[in-house]
């Protein structure tokens, strides 16, 4: 690919991310000013939030005329991924729980009330469709598809790390941002190991579906429902969180090692292990200078996200 086209793809992804943030802020402002936000249901809220990602993504794909198969990585992968990917997600659960517990020492949970409220009032398939299937497709198309698929022309490793940070910031609250950043990076490594976005969609679905099923069981078993309601009303004590953190540290470490091993296994199964190794080597003899991923629109978008989170969680 020509150097100017590569530069355009990388910078285009940064402008795309900034546009996602601008769309989010505009919609939030409209809902706040018109007072519509206080009247929309949880289902409408989830559909709207995913539409704010999906519509700009489709528009960007059409305008940029990118190679869908190459940029979005719409490729087949080894059939064993059907078994390995869920195991990969389960292995990461202790780490996600640990990061979530650490974040709760300073901020409130942003998803518990939403998940519990949705599964309490709707059938399991509705909750699965809205909280697992749709985000798994829409968010992966935007972040492991358009953004990472474009950034990898600059640096694959940087694309994974920066893409993970962007994925976390996109959630617009510090609680979700904390573990979503790490999850985004791990999904990035998964995409590189398999060469396919379908595995990251599958993993994203599995991760969200675990939360849906846990919330569904908790809201339909009377004893667990009482415990959840009590915890919601009283909150989680700092001492209890600290105990949880200490307990989960070794499990998180072992789970992360297991997840890394599964990424290596998937890379070998898909014949991409040498590509994965090359990702960690710096090619000093490259004839073509790769474009830098860090840019003004990227930094501006991240600053806006952080500023929004500070204002909404610590000021208002």
Residues 241-249 have a mean pLDDT of 94
Residue 93 has pLDDT above 60, yes or no: yes
Which of 146, 153, 179 has the alpha carbon at shortest distance from 165? Answer: 179
Q: Are 188 and 96 in contact (CB under 8 A)?
A: no
Q: Are 148 and 283 in contact (CB under 8 A)?
A: no
Q: Which three-class secondary structure string do you get for the chain?
A: CCHHHHHHHHHHHHHHHHHHHHHHHHHHHHHHHHCCCCCCCHHHHHHHHHHHHHHHHHHHHHHHCCCHHHHCCCCCCCCCHHHHHHHHHHHHHHHHHHHHHHHCCCCCCCCHHHHHHHHHHCCHHHHHHHHHHHHHHHHHHHHHHHHHHHHCCCCHHHHHHHHHHHHHHCCCCHHHHHHHHHHHHHHHHHHHHHCCHHHHHHHHHHHHHHHHHHHHHHHHCHHHHHHHHHHHHHCCCHHHHHHHHHHHHHHHHHHHHHHHHHHHHHHHHCCCHHHHHHHCCCCCCCCCCCCCCCCHHHHHHHHHHHHHHHHHHHHC
Residues 11-30 have a mean pLDDT of 96
pLDDT at 232: 52
182 is in which domain, residue-wise? 3-315
- The total number of structural domains in the chain stands at 1
pLDDT at 222: 61
The model's pTM: 0.93
pLDDT at 72: 82
Of the pLDDT bands very low, low, confident and very high (cuts 50, 70, 90), residue 2 is: low
pLDDT tens, 266-298?
Answer: 999 999 999 999 888 876 555 557 888 999 999
pLDDT tens, 138-183?
Answer: 999 999 999 999 999 889 999 999 999 999 999 999 999 999 999 9
Residue 260 has pLDDT above 70, yes or no: yes
Of the pLDDT bands very low, low, confident and very high (cuts 50, 70, 90), residue 229 is: low
């Amino acid at each position: 690919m020509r150097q100017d086209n590569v530069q355009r793809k990388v910078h285009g992804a940064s402008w795309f991310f900034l546009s996602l943030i601008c769309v989010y802020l505009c919609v939030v402002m409209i809902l706040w000013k018109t007072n519509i936000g206080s009247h929309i249901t949880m289902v409408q809220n989830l559909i709207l939030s995913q539409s704010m990602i999906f519509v700009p993504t489709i528009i960007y794909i059409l305008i940029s005329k990118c190679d869908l198969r190459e940029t979005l990585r719409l490729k087949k992968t080894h059939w064993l991924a059907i078994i390995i990917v869920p195991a990969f997600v389960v292995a990461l659960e202790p780490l996600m729980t640990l990061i979530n517990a650490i974040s709760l020492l300073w901020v409130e949970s942003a998803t518990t009330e939403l998940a519990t409220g949705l599964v309490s009032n709707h059938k399991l398939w509705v909750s699965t469709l809205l909280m697992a299937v749709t985000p798994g497709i829409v968010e992966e198309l935007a972040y492991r598809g358009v953004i990472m698929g474009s950034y990898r022309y600059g640096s694959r490793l940087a694309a994974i790390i920066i893409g993970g940070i962007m994925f976390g910031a996109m959630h617009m609250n510090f609680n979700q941002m904390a573990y979503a950043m790490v999850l985004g990076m791990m999904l990035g490594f998964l995409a590189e190991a398999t060469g396919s976005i379908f595995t990251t969609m599958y993993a994203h679905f599995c991760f969200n579906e675990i939360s849906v099923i846990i919330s569904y069981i908790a809201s339909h078993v009377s004893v667990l429902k009482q415990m959840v309601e009590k915890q919601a009303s009283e909150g989680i004590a700092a001492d209890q969180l600290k105990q949880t953190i200490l307990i989960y540290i070794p499990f998180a470490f072992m789970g992360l090692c297991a997840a890394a091993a599964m990424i290596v296994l998937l890379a070998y199964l898909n014949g991409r292990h040498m590509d994965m190794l090359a990702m960690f080597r710096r090619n000093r003899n490259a004839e073509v200078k790769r474009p830098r991923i860090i840019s003004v629109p990227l930094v501006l978008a991240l600053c806006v996200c952080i500023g929004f989170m500070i204002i909404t969680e610590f000021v208002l």
